[in-house]
Structure formats: structure tokens, C-alpha cells
Structure 1
């Protein structure tokens, strides 16, 4: 027996002999030997570091791979959450994420007990790139693992600590860029998964990246990022939003240059230099940044993100992988701060739309009529952020010859409907994960009846089938046709129903609006729609 094999045998013997690890699953991965926990057909490993702590002079630098750990690592507790502001009291999304630290770049693995080359789903949490954690109860991967897939959830740097661009940071970078650190964390986590997931029973050649809201925005960034190419094989995007993105050094599309935005934040924090910023308490930076108007987004730097997302997808430069994307009919019902107040009467609504949309006003008013003004305003913001994005993703992926699948989640239940939250933002997540009993304290309670159980099982099976094969299928449920087959989509209401031609005219109108704003070059495309939209530019070549 070689010395290396003798050493490994000793390590494994110690692990199995340890009282804490008695009966616990032990994995010898390239990252190190790890002891997890077992239960109900699933092995669970929590808090595995995939990158070195980004603290001190490593703050605002690309992640460095974590060194192999010594001995046997006990992986029964989640790692610390990345720094984030306190959650908003009264929000249905509010959840205690536990201890926070800059040493937060960890991931968790749920794997079937006897997994061997099982398909892998990597979950990227939402939270506006400001909040959230891989430890949130709703993201527990146990039920999905029992369906035969390996689930990995990851932490990544958030807020100013994750996305700050700054002239001094760009100057010290070998590539002359800054920002995108949270995105680089996600890429490093995928590299760790590629190297290590086989030891946990996963197939490194069958990895799906998935996320909701800011997690889905992150998946779009990964689809566009050359550095992520080849690290995943499929993509799931739930409620993604393809909005205009700040560019590193140039004010474009009405967005302040990212370096200017970052320098302004530093000034408002009283930090006159990068050294002063790095010396600041991370909680102080995190908690004060939102009050200054700082919003974290990816940065178009020509390297990590080569161009605007809309341009990447127009040019067919995104990762050529199968894709599943969709949105919820009630997205804005739980995000009403994104929608403007309802005007005092229908005449004011119509006048505002005609003033802003000009020759497209009739098209707008046919989709979002004054007769249902309050609902129209919610739908306007929903469609510009989420509906247009979902259909655009499906259409552009089909255009490069990849299977793409579109859905509309329109499922309600009594507690949500009574609260005016029918099919609200993120309400599909517990059904996908099978965590209907593990939602946040203020989440409208999901009934525990057979109908809801069947609905959740169907949704979960579609998702796991797509993770496994690139084609969403569920026994006893309708066949989900690719978008390319007559603009097909799946409607999830009381049950799954195959349909086609989602919201006729919605995609075309929003595509025309964005096309004109892009041609003009001075106006962003995000939630500035409907009665708060800037005047629409005239039609330009190539635009309707």
C-alpha cells in the first residue's frame, strides 16, 4: 500500500470511528474528506467552502479556490450568509438567514443515497442581489434529491461587497475591470462542482444552473459570460428580468457608468480611497449602501459581461444550452413598490399613455385598458420585467437551435387569493422544491390537500425531468412542447395545461419599446413603463 493510500485509509478510519460521524455518510472528494448526515434516502452535506474568504485585501477581488482541507470536515451546518441588510419587517419574503460573514462562499449538497452520475441542479437564490442565502428553508433540496437529482445551493457576495465597480479596483485588476464579484463567485462555485460533484454521486457532465428573480438574472449573466462557458449544460430561469445594465466606464442607456456609481458610493460612505473602503466594517458598508441610492447589478465590462444582455442574445452569443423560462401572472402583487400609483381616473390614465407611447399607444391600451386600470398597471410592470424577458429567452434560444420551454405560472390558492396575491412573485418555488411546509412566517399558507400535492408533484417532476434530460416531462400530465413549435408554452393554473401564443401582442409591444430605447441610447428599460415611462422615441431603422 502506498503512503498516500495509507494516509487516506487512516483518515477514513478516523471519520468512521468518530462519535460525531457514527452512521454519517463520508465522501472523499478532491476538496477533502467530508462527513455529512443521512436521512430518508438522502445524503446532505452543508457549508462546504468553494473559495477562500474574500476578506481584508481580498475584498473586491475575484474569488480564489479554497485549498483542500485537512482531516475530516463535518458538514452538518450551513455556512454563514453573505452580508446583507436586515430584511423588511412585514414582508412575506422576510426570513432570518442566521450569522453573516465575509467568509460566506460555501455551498450545500443534497444527493440521493445511492446516487451514481445523477443529474445536478445548481440553485442560485434570489433577493435583488442584495439579500438571500443558500440556507433558506424553502430551498431545501431533500425532496428533489429523492426524485433522483443532486441539488447544490450556493452563497455568493451580495450588495456593494459583491458588485461594486470603482476606478481604483479597475486599476489594480490585471484585466482593467471591476464589479461582478458575486457573478465570479458563482462561476467559481461551478468550477468546484465540476471538480468535486462526481464524488457525491453527481454527473459533472450534466449540470443545470437554475434560479429565481435575481437568481434568474444571475443565470442570464452566466449564459452571457465567456468564463462560465462549458461549466453547465442547461438553464432554468424563473422570473428573470433582462433590464439595461450599467457599463464600466460609459454612461449609456440612461445608466450611470458603474465606476462613477461606485466612486459616488465610496464618497457618501466617507471613504476617500480603496484602502479606506477595505478598512471599513463590512456590515456598515452593506447597511448604509442602499440609503445612498446604490443598487447592485452586473457590470458590462467587455470581459466578464462582454455586452448588454439584449445584444448578447440578439447576436446568438449566449451559451448554446437547452433552456426553461417563465414568469408568474401575479408577479407585482407582492412587489407593488415597482408599480406606480393608480391615477385618479381613466381619462388621466389614457392621457398619460398617449403622451408617453405615441404611435404605439393604441397597441398599449388594447393590452392594458383603462377600464381595468389598477390591474393594467400591475400587468404593465410585470410584462416589461418578467413576461417579455421569459418569452425573449425562449425565442432567442430557439433561434440558435436549442430546445427552449416557456411557462406561465397562474396558480392560486385560498390564503394567497384572499390576500390579493394570486400567483405572486416566487410562489412557484415551494412547489418546485417540495417545500410547501417550509415557507417563511408570513407566506400565505399553502393547503395540505391532495389537489395541491398533485399540483406540486407535477411541477417538481417537470423540473427534475428537464434537469435530467433537457425535456420537461411529467407522468400523467400534458406534453410540454418546445417554444419553437408554434410559440408553445405551459400554463400552470389549477393544473398544467399545454397552450400556445402567450398573451398575444405583449412580447411584440415590449420588444418594440426596448428596440426604440436601444436605438436612441439614452433611456433605460426596466420598471419605467406605463404611466411613468419617458416619452417613447420615434421608430428607428430595424424597430417597429
Structure 2
């Protein structure tokens, strides 16, 4: 297979052909660290793209792929993977998946895409991008005549990957003019952010945002303060922290990043310092504001969240504000009436269950409703809520929590992990839900709309697809909660003052 940069050789498996670890940009190492991605370096001969390459630098515990096995990590991580039907005719729709992980962890290795390709005749692409301090700190304020720091690096990586797709995907049987981007969690945030990124215009024609966390997109003043605090943390171990940004190892930079995360979470529970920054140029507007003002790219959109998003975090990843004390601190900068209205919309507050529901709705559901409402005014928009849970998920207290919809999207109920979450009586239902979700996602990729029966979301009808067994449709579910959240504008209202080093 010949592409713009050289010849690539993939592998055939069970009716599919895969190419793994193709570079879409030059390794962001050395002088390229903290710089916008540069074009990939071409090669001579045949490049064997048989196996997945490095994950972006991150805590090693997040790269486990087996007992005692870890995916290698390196700054040389800007690669992507392609899966296509072995026999294909005519250009096929392209689906580009952006993995989640709070912009601090994750890898494309986990999301193979084989089930989607088999189910629907598409070309599937998954990408890696820079994470954590190396990808999502805005250090541009520390640029000088001798050093340049670019911002929004992970976002720029995603745009570079889409540019690669536009140039090369036809060689794999894909249609460069029919590209659907989709992602979950931070990957969902990437999707809603790309909708508001001018550089991404024309690089995709449809978008699916699964459990987008719009709060991960950082206001400019926050981004500048995060960068200052990070440099102060480096100063504790390096005489010249600016030089250390280039001389320190990825591990050292990562440990400083963990310190930054701890300091920020002490002030704004659940807030993370890594995410696209609203800089006024590369990302001119917050995606919610862009949707509200009709300045998102007018492409069809599917957006939604899961019924009990926060249960995963309460049980496994303690990063969301799920205690009454943390919930109270979220409203310190708001009108007291707003706090009363929001907490009053949740029966039993301040019970643990109500606190979890508030946290999940604040991070995922309520801002996604705002994006659906704004974007739906100028482009076809479809909203869903994922309610399906197997009995094991219910019995263990997880329910339809964060990321469980990925089991259906990627056909994972039939894998070893997925089958461990299903009892014999659940397997038919799990397969029905998988067929429904994959059918709608694939129909959307082919036709710009899900299958018949799922109406557009508008401010007038607020039609939401409830993905469960069986599937159903509701108009304006959780109406009282939706109205209550309309007076709250996210973490931007929480003051950063109170002991963060570097605070002016």
C-alpha cells in the first residue's frame, strides 16, 4: 500500500486488513517537544505496520495489557491505525475514533474497531495524541527569543491526524469526504472541541460525542495559571525550570503533572488541569459558547451520556466531586439560589446517591444538553442517554456508568472482558443493544442520520433516544434537572485562589 510518506504493509485477519502504528506526524521529541506537530518523515522501502506502537507518556499503571505486560510509552507516539474490509469496492465511510482518559491516560491499542468494520462496511481509524503536561499545558506564555512553546498540542495532534486521513485514506478504500469523528469521555470532549476549532473545518463531515466532558476545555485564565503553577513545581527540583521543560525526562514531567493535579483538585474538586485551552485563536471560543452562538462546524452530531456516569468514579477513580462537602464547594461562586435549585432537583440530597448523580450530570449530561441545544439550532443533532446495564453491573453498583456504552459500540460483550459482565440470561439483551448501537452509529456514518425512529433534538421537542433493552424514546427526560442546571456555568465559576503556588 502506497501512501504519501512511503509504502506500508499491514496484516490480514479474519476478513479484515489492518495497518498499525503508521506515523501521522514527526516524533515530538527534542526541539519538537511542546511544539505544534510537524509532518511525518517519509521513508524508503516497506514499512511493516504489523503491531501497535508506543502509547503517549503516562503513568505505567495505565498501560497494562496483560499480567506483567505493559504497552511501551514514548514521546514518539503520534501514530494511528487503520482497519478495513479485506474485500471492498468503492470508497467507504471513514470513522475516526479518539480515545478518552481525562487527557492523562489511554491508547488507541484498546479500541480495535474490528467489530464495527465487520458490521457496517466502513474504514476505521484510531489515533494516539499527546497527553498530560506534554499535550495539554499552555506554556506559550513562557516563549522567548530562544524557546518557543505552542499551546493546544493534543488538539493540534488530532487535527494533524485528520489531515493525514484526508490525504491518505483513499488508498485504504476510504472516502476522505465522508469522515465521522467519534470519541468517548476526553475523546468526546475532543469531538465537541473540534466542532469549535477553525483548523478542523472540512476535515470531518459528522461527529459523535459519547459522554463528552465539556468542562475539560479550560478557560484561558485558568490555563495560564496552571502553566505558572506547573513551572513553580518544577522549580522545586530544577534551578532553571524553563530549561527543564526540555531537559527533564517524560517521567519527571509527569510526576510534576501529578503534583499539579493534586493542588488543583484541592481547590476545585473534580477539576483537572489538562484540556484544550480557549486561547482566542486556535480555539477562539469555549465549545458550549460556540454552539450557543452558531459557530460550531454545521455537521450532523450525535451526542449523549450514560445514566449514572459518576458511579465508576465513586468506586474506582476518585476524581469527581461526589461527597456533600465537595458538592457544596462547587457552588461557592454562584448565586445561592442556583445551588438551592440544583440540589433541590435531586431527591435525597445530600445522600451519596444524589451527590453522585449531581457530579455526573454536572460534568457530562448538563453541558452536553447545552451543546445539543445550541448545535441543534443550525445542524441536525441527535441526543441519547445510555441506560443499559447487565445484572452484574447493577448488582455491583456500577449500573449504566461511565464508559459502559463502549461495550456496545465496539461489540465487546462477546469478548472475554465483556462476557465476564454478562450472565447467561443477559447475553441476548446485550447483543440486541450492541446491534442497535452499532446500527445507529454505522447508519450515521453512511447517511448522516441514525436509523429511522430517532428524531432530531431541538429546543422545541427535546427528543432523546433511551438506549436500553428495549430501546425507547422520551421527550425532555429529567426536565426539572435540565432547567435547574441552566443557571450554572461549570468550573469557570469556581475561584482558583486559596493556596495555588504562582497565584497572582
Partner of 1:154: 127
* CA–CA distance in structure 1, aligned partners of residues 237 and 133 of structure 2: 12
SS of 1:472's partner is: coil
**Correspondent of 1:108 among 69, 81, 85:** 81
- Equivalent residues in 2 for 1:299-338, closer than 5 Å: 299-336=277-314, 337=318, 338=320
* CA–CA distance in structure 2, aligned partners of residues 97 and 500 of structure 1: 45
| Bigger radius of gyration | 1
Partner of 1:508: 483
**Correspondent of 1:455 among 417, 433, 440:** 433
Query: Mean Cα displacement is larger for which, 413-422 or 274-283?
Result: 274-283
TM-score between the two structures when normalised by the length of structure 1? 0.80
* CA–CA distance in structure 2, aligned partners of residues 499 and 328 of structure 1: 15
CA contact (8 A) 1:54 1:103 kept: yes
Partner of 2:243: 275
Q: Quick check: 1:226 aligned with 2:198?
A: yes
C-alpha spacing 1:339/1:273, structure 2 compared with 1 (3 Å): closer
* CA–CA distance in structure 2, aligned partners of residues 59 and 428 of structure 1: 35
Give the superposition deviation at 1:357. 6.1
Pairwise CA RMSD of aligned residues? 3.1
Q: Quick check: 1:489 aligned with 2:461?
A: no
C-alpha spacing 1:406/1:218, structure 2 compared with 1 (3 Å): same
CA contact (8 A) 1:167 1:263 kept: no
- Equivalent residues in 2 for 1:367-382, closer than 5 Å: 367-370=345-348, 373-382=351-360
Query: Mean Cα displacement is larger for which, 207-216 or 267-276?
Result: 267-276
CA contact (8 A) 2:93 2:175 kept: yes
Partner of 1:434: 411
SS of 2:412's partner is: coil
SS of 1:45's partner is: strand
* CA–CA distance in structure 2, aligned partners of residues 94 and 322 of structure 1: 42
* CA–CA distance in structure 1, aligned partners of residues 126 and 146 of structure 2: 29
Q: Quick check: 1:383 aligned with 2:361?
A: yes
* CA–CA distance in structure 2, aligned partners of residues 32 and 417 of structure 1: 50
Q: Which runs of 5+ in 1 are unaligned?
A: 1-26, 344-348, 525-544
**Correspondent of 1:392 among 339, 360, 370:** 370
SS of 1:406's partner is: strand
Give the superposition deviation at 1:114. 2.6
CA contact (8 A) 1:166 1:262 kept: no
Give the superposition deviation at 1:154. 0.2
* CA–CA distance in structure 1, aligned partners of residues 463 and 362 of structure 2: 20
* CA–CA distance in structure 1, aligned partners of residues 257 and 423 of structure 2: 39
Partner of 1:17: none
- Equivalent residues in 2 for 1:131-210, closer than 5 Å: 131-136=105-110, 139-146=111-118, 147-167=120-140, 169-171=142-144, 178-210=150-182
C-alpha spacing 1:451/1:286, structure 2 compared with 1 (3 Å): same
SS of 1:302's partner is: coil
* CA–CA distance in structure 1, aligned partners of residues 343 and 54 of structure 2: 48
CA contact (8 A) 1:50 1:192 kept: yes
Provide, for residues 146-168 of structure 1, a one-character-per-residue CA deviation record: whole Å limited to 9, x for no partner: 12111100000111111222256
Q: Quick check: 1:418 aligned with 2:395?
A: yes
* CA–CA distance in structure 2, aligned partners of residues 280 and 323 of structure 1: 41
* CA–CA distance in structure 1, aligned partners of residues 473 and 281 of structure 2: 40
Partner of 2:214: 242
* CA–CA distance in structure 2, aligned partners of residues 93 and 395 of structure 1: 42
Give the superposition deviation at 1:392. 1.4
Query: Mean Cα displacement is larger for which, 214-223 or 272-281?
Result: 272-281
Q: Which runs of 5+ in 2 are unaligned?
A: 263-272, 497-504
CA contact (8 A) 2:333 2:495 kept: no
CA contact (8 A) 1:36 1:46 kept: yes
SS of 1:421's partner is: coil
* CA–CA distance in structure 2, aligned partners of residues 177 and 194 of structure 1: 27
